[in-house]
Amino acid sequence: QKEVEQNSGPLSVPEGAIASLNCTYSDRGSQSFFWYRQYSGKSPELIMSIYSNGDKEDGRFTAQLNKASQYVSLLIRDSQPSDSATYLCAVPGSQGNLIFGKGTKLSVKP
Amino acid sequence: DADVTQTPRNRITKTGKRIMLECSQTKGHDRMYWYRQDPGLGLRLIYYSFDVKDINKGEISDGYSVSRQAQAKFSLSLESAIPNQTALYFCATSGLAGAGELFFGEGSRLTVL
């Protein structure tokens, strides 16, 4: 069974700082990786996907992938209070589904 | 209107009752999923369906059943609810195999007393 591990947090950062969220995965054969954001009481939504080693940038968000270390991270630059949410890392499962980590709760303090 | 709609949004019931959670989607997607979310346990797959004639068990299917009534409708049933089925349930859809983008409904919070 594939596994995805995340630090549950909470991770607290001041407004304007860089938030760094980390994820490790068990299956060396995983080829694609996804970050979802879930606001309290809401449903998850996809914010980033990454398929190749290295960095992928989208606005204030950067996803970083290191397949050799089986490690994927999400950096949020210039963090805002509106970024306060739980961030879920996910990889494709063998059943055509996504396997999610338990999520890291981020709190951005004004 | 939401693309993926779940009903009911909240439900309190008693042990032993039969409960049905319904999901409908307007995205035209073939793939539909039911996940449950528990604090500290994350999202876990209950059942999934790739088309109307295809139903598959997920990681935690015991105590649940599903029905795919049409491409747009996928319902989850608890035949005899028990307290440890108290959770937040999400229906999700996806359009492409392995694409990784799931579109979630707003969730159905179920409490079993």
CB atoms within 10 A of CB B5: 16
Contact: B106, A100; criterion CB under 8 Å:
no
Query: How far is A72 from chain B, CA to nearest CA, in Å?
Result: 15
Could you read off the pLDDT of B21-71 as tens digits, one per residue? 999 999 999 999 999 999 888 899 999 999 999 999 999 999 999 999 999
Could you read off the pLDDT of B87-108 as tens digits, one per residue? 999 999 998 655 678 999 999 9
> What residues have CB less than 8 Å from B41, skipping those under 6 apart?
A102
Secondary structure of residue B31 in the 3-state scheme: strand
Pick from A8, A43, A88: which is nearest to B105 by CB? A43
B63 phi and psi, to 5 degrees?
90, 0
pLDDT for the residue numbered B40: 83
Query: How far is B106 from chain A, CA to nearest CA, in Å?
Result: 5
